Structure 1
Amino acid sequence: MATKQKILIVDDDSNIAELISLYLTKEFYEVQIVEDGEQALQVFDTFQPNLILLDLMLPGMDGYQVCREIRRRSNTPIIMLSAKGEVFDKVLGLELGADDYMIKPFDSKELVARVKAVLRRFNPSPSEATPIAKLVQYPDLIINQTNYSVIYRNERVDMPPKELELLYFLASSPNQVFTREQLLDHIWGYEYIGDTRTVDVHIKRLREKIKDHEAWRLATVWGIGYKFEVK
């Protein structure tokens, strides 16, 4: 029997946390609930979740701080939960390394679907594997979307699934210009359409990890979007 995937819920609203736990338990996930940031960091090391559902408004250490600390330790996927709907909050969460962002109140089916989608991207099952690896290679850079790995200058670079998917998508079509809207549609899907700052945030994070090379670079095409430029 396959081992259950583990999800850590970090939310000080016990009613919401228990409701989310119920939804996920029905989908055969192993769930643990904590109510504050400090406890989340302690439990993270012992529970070793496959995914974290992280509320932003926590007592003491808030969700942003928790996300920042988790990212120092691990590449574990994080879906932020918040009653705030402002673009600023979403962008800040993504900048800190969150993989997705849901605004309360949300539909239980959508939450489960988002959890499954993030887990599937981060750790695709063997049954979903294709005979031909999704891999692109340039001097000093190997991007493998089949096993979600990036090798840059002979060293592995950790990055959340969305960053890797964006890098792979651009690098798979060298010198082709994509608008922000096209990238949103291909990488994030319909629910992000209109929020083009999401693309800018992820490009910024990629540039911090993958510096321009003499043979290639992530280039901005002003007024249009981005391309993976090969010289």
Structure 2
Amino acid sequence: MEEVASVAAPGTVLIVEDEPKLAAVLQDYLRAAGFGTEIVADGRLVLDAIRQRPPVLVLLDLMLPGRDGVSLCRELRGFSRVPVIMVTARVEEVERLIGLEAGADDYVCKPYRPREVVARVQAQLRRQAWDQARQGPSAAEAGPGGLLIDDEALRAHWQGAALDLTPAEFRLLRHLARSAGRVFSRDQLLDVLHEDGRAVTDRAVDSHIRNLRRKLEAALPGSDPIRSVYGVGYAWEGWVEA
């Protein structure tokens, strides 16, 4: 297998992976999902490949010959905002946080299910589309709006549709949306779930996030503005109306 394919098709996902079998499996699944693919196996070739044939997303292995994924991501962020999903077998939380500080958008830990990787790729590209719609001149045409929170009435609307939220769900959503893009740990989100300080576990956060996602998806089918960061927590990635 060549380290860098000669042609990158529109809608190409760049797979940066030095294990040929893993790269081939990811390539097969991504192609089945309609993506073009390009494979780079050497860290020293990654940035030139991105500059010459800009991909729509980069799947970046952390451990590479020639150069590591964290330093690549840091340099990449100096000239590109292309979404980056780090793929790694180093599952320590510190490594995840280092990667996020370097500019990675998400993590997938080995061993992984290829379908999960494809789902995360699709989620990142939806997020990018929302960001572009928010920033572009035609944002008003993209839908009736973003997230609107009424603190006085304790109500929230997503894309113009009212959300039927419990008080805990409302507080959780409001906290995430106030710092859109910031990743909150489960422990941090536990502090806002119940104002009376009752004892709850971090599983309660996951349960509320599932409910929020279900209600947001009902308001706008196909939307998933809450990003999961494996082993860390959650972030709001939709746009928020002033």
**TM-score scaled by length of structure 1:** 0.60
Structure 1 stretches of 4+ moved >6 Å:
165-168
**Secondary structure of 1:123 counterpart:** helix
Question: Which of the numbers 227, 230, 233 marks the counterpart of 1:188?
Answer: 227
Using a 3 Å threshold, how does the CA distance of structure 1 residues 98 and 70 change in structure 2: closer, same or farther?
same
Deviation (angstroms), 1:5: 1.7
**Matching of residues 51-130 of structure 1 within 5 Å:** 51-124=57-130, 129-130=142-143
* Cα deviations by residue, 1:168-216 (Å, 9 ceiling, x for unpaired): 81168xxxxx972369865334x74x635x77xx9xxxxxxxxxxxxxx
**Letter paired with 1:97:** G
Unaligned regions of 5+ residues in structure 1, if any?
Answer: 137-145, 147-164, 173-177, 203-231
**Secondary structure of 2:78 counterpart:** helix
**TM-score scaled by length of structure 2:** 0.58
Indicate the percent of aligned positions where both proteins have the same amino acid.
38
Using a 3 Å threshold, how does the CA distance of structure 1 residues 108 and 72 change in structure 2: closer, same or farther?
same
Distance in 2 (alpha carbons) for counterparts of 1:80 and 1:34: 14
Q: Does 1:35 align with 2:41?
A: yes
Unaligned regions of 5+ residues in structure 2, if any?
Answer: 1-8, 134-140, 150-158, 160-172, 181-185, 193-204, 210-225, 237-242
Question: Which of the numbers 13, 16, 19 marks the counterpart of 2:22?
Answer: 16
Higher RCO (CA < 8 A, seq sep 6+): 2
* Cα deviations by residue, 1:141-180 (Å, 9 ceiling, x for unpaired): xxxxx9xxxxxxxxxxxxxxxxxx99981168xxxxx972
**Letter paired with 1:195:** V
Deviation (angstroms), 1:129: 3.1
Partner of 1:162: none
Using a 3 Å threshold, how does the CA distance of structure 1 residues 171 and 53 change in structure 2: closer, same or farther?
closer
Question: How many residue pairs are counted as aligned between the two chains?
Answer: 163
**Secondary structure of 1:89 counterpart:** helix
User: RMSD of aligned C-alpha atoms?
Assistant: 3.5
Partner of 2:54: 48
Partner of 2:183: none
Larger Rg: 2
